[in-house]
Structure 1
Amino acid sequence: MIRNPNDIQDGAKKIRMLIAGYPGIGKSTLALSAPRPLHIDCDFGIDRIEPRYRMPYIQPRSYDEILNDLKPENLKDFETLVFDTAGKLITLMGLWAIKQNPKYGQRDGSLSLKGYGFVGREFVQLMDYCFYELKKNIVVVFHATEEKDGDNTRLRIKVEGQTKNNVWEPMDLGGFVEMYGNDRTIGFSNCEKYFAKGTRGIHGVYKIPALGPGSPNDFLTKLFEEYNSKAAEEVAANAKENEAYEQVMQEGSKIIAGIKDADTANAAMPPFKALQHHLTSRQELNAQWKAKIAALGLTFDTAAAQYKPAEEAQ
């Protein structure tokens, strides 16, 4: 079914986000500022997070453990799943993939090209499962690495093989964390330095507030609220536009219904042209008008700027 995008009604939604940055810049703490997070500590690095910012966690040694833990009955108390780091998650997926099919591996234990393709698809499937079936926010954390591009140095997420092309695919937001002087920032807009991803008004560079004694670690919680408030504004605007569309369609259809002959067609032209259109009303009503004129056998006389019966026009 072809649907009008203005029919979208969901304002609030779960969010999928990628965070990247150098080691030690505070990516994990930032990721755990999301609403009611479960920390999937693939890197076994929870001890590097200040105790006051730690959250409930699992430390999987295999991808099977992750699949076994991510069951609806285990996740009732959580709203966000934080994969930290996604690079290590993909490593666990690679080992799991080779067990599934030895052809996905090479003699040295690394993934083959087919293996990388399989792992990339599995990553997308896991994100889809967490988002669509578990209905959770998702935050994936990546280390950043530097790549030389001529005289320029660019930041990229640290992940092997073609899998890096898959990890961006399901994300709603993606940002790089950097230090500017004493300030930590996260950028959501593509630039010469890195790839990023912003949607629903979340663009540009945001300053991450410094955390001090007693200050809440809630940056992503507030960011997600901002994201969804913009979504709610879109829904409200769409509803208003849909109402205007319905009204003009009724007015236009009534005008067209009143056309019985050349005289009524000519009388209908000024009010029909004066209609204030919304969405696709102009195209739809013009099609209705043409169909009615054709059904009545009328012809438009350009010189006289009016409709006439076909026999008169000849």
Structure 2
Amino acid sequence: MPILKKNDVTPRRPVIIMIYGQPGSGKTSIATTAENPVIIDTDKGYDRSVQRVDTLIATKWEDVIAEQNAGTFDNYKTIVLDTVKGCTDDYLQVYVTTLDYKLQRNALKRFGAMADQFKAFVNFLRSKGCDIVFIAHDKETQEGDVIKHSPDCTGQSKDLLIRIADEVGYIFMENGERKIQFSPDETHIGKNVAELPVTAIPNATEPEFANFMGRLIEQVKDGIQNKSESNRLAHEHLAEIREQLAAAMTDEDIVALMAATKELPKVMQNPFFAEMQKSLATKGYVFDAKQKKFVKQ
């Protein structure tokens, strides 16, 4: 892969989304609205979805491997794994013990072997260049007086998926309306690289539902690309005004520099202002808070 230079526009890329929620919250139905999806059903729940899409109904992990080797997944734009815990607990746990019967009596090594197989499969999915949706049930844990919601995954799979996912969304009900939230808070595990708002999920009978996940995935791609592009432009602007700062000698130069600083993202403004104060102090300027400007001493 060629090096992406710092001034290059970030290309759009496939994304990884993880969604979780309580049984009956419509996770599988929502996933079917992605673009040209295939579902790898390890939870035996494909027939509960409000609409049918191509589905691999695996009875054992060898079924998944067979389709993987046959190139079946090359024909799809989105691959959905439903569910992560079903994959690890009901399929991979049996599979690794068929490879090594000693793992039946050694839980630690068995979970390690399951993690290795799961990582290999995730790497395979990522290599296909398609979008990936992982589905998990909701796991509630009590932390003091707070009930914490998180994806129900076994062992290392949870840490792996949260690390590589672009978005981790929790599906919930609010005032009779289904919504999905990606930003984490004190009660929900989440991840929101694309900075998506809490989003209402249309009813299955509404036309907007038909491609809901497809639109959501496009929003994630746009959000990531725009965020990367805005970061690139912001750092370019920061480099330019640093040059202005180094060259600033007059009051007019500093006024122009202050105006340019206000064009930086807010997260960059305070650190650069501190940088300005230190640099301009060497030139005999201090910041007068009452006048809100730098003055010559």
**Both structures adopt the same fold (TM-score exceeding 0.5):** yes
Pairing 1:118–2:118 present? no
| 2:267 aligned residue | none
> Partners in 1 of 2:238 and 2:146 — Cα distance?
50
Task: Please say which structure displays the higher CA radius of gyration.
Answer: 1
| 2:46 aligned residue | 46
1:158-196 deviation digits (Å, cap 9, x = unpaired) = 233454333322211111111112100111121222211
| 2:104 aligned residue | 105
Tell me if the contact between 2:202 and 2:208 (Cα under 8 Å) persists in the aligned partners: no
| 2:68 aligned residue | 70
Q: Is the alpha carbon distance of 1:171 and 1:239 closer, same or farther for their aligned partners in structure 2, counting shifts above 3 Å?
A: closer
| 2:87 aligned residue | 89
1:112-152 deviation digits (Å, cap 9, x = unpaired) = 12221232233233222211x21111111111122222332
| 1:55 aligned residue | 53
**Where does structure 1 lack aligned partners over 5 or more consecutive residues?**
256-267, 280-301, 304-314
| Structure 1 letter corresponding to 2:99 | Q
Tell me if the contact between 2:193 and 2:224 (Cα under 8 Å) persists in the aligned partners: no
Q: How many residues align?
A: 264
| Cα RMSD (Å) | 3.8
Q: Is the alpha carbon distance of 1:36 and 1:247 closer, same or farther for their aligned partners in structure 2, counting shifts above 3 Å?
A: same
Aligned pair partner of 2:151 in 154, 157, 169: 157
> Partners in 2 of 1:237 and 1:7 — Cα distance?
11
| Percent of paired sites with the same residue | 22
Q: Is the alpha carbon distance of 1:206 and 1:216 closer, same or farther for their aligned partners in structure 2, counting shifts above 3 Å?
A: closer
**Where does structure 2 lack aligned partners over 5 or more consecutive residues?**
265-281, 284-297
Pairing 1:34–2:34 present? yes
| 2:187 aligned residue | 193
Q: Is the alpha carbon distance of 1:213 and 1:44 closer, same or farther for their aligned partners in structure 2, counting shifts above 3 Å?
A: same
Q: Is the alpha carbon distance of 1:79 and 1:105 closer, same or farther for their aligned partners in structure 2, counting shifts above 3 Å?
A: same
Tell me if the contact between 1:143 and 1:157 (Cα under 8 Å) persists in the aligned partners: yes
| Structure 1 letter corresponding to 2:212 | F
Report how far residue 24 of structure 1 moved.
0.8
Tell me if the contact between 2:88 and 2:118 (Cα under 8 Å) persists in the aligned partners: yes
TM alignment of 1:181-220, pairs within 5 A? 181-202=175-196, 205-212=198-205, 214-220=207-213
> Partners in 2 of 1:155 and 1:242 — Cα distance?
37
> Partners in 1 of 2:10 and 2:80 — Cα distance?
24
Give the TM-score normalised by structure 1: 0.69
| 237-246 vs 154-163, greater mean Cα deviation | 237-246
> Partners in 2 of 1:219 and 1:129 — Cα distance?
26
Q: Is the alpha carbon distance of 1:72 and 1:236 closer, same or farther for their aligned partners in structure 2, counting shifts above 3 Å?
A: farther
> Partners in 2 of 1:49 and 1:24 — Cα distance?
10
| 1:167 aligned residue | 161
| Structure 1 letter corresponding to 2:128 | L
Q: Is the alpha carbon distance of 1:167 and 1:118 closer, same or farther for their aligned partners in structure 2, counting shifts above 3 Å?
A: farther
> Partners in 2 of 1:97 and 1:8 — Cα distance?
44
Report how far residue 5 of structure 1 moved.
7.7
| 1:127 aligned residue | 122
| Structure 2 letter corresponding to 1:85 | T
> Partners in 1 of 2:21 and 2:145 — Cα distance?
21
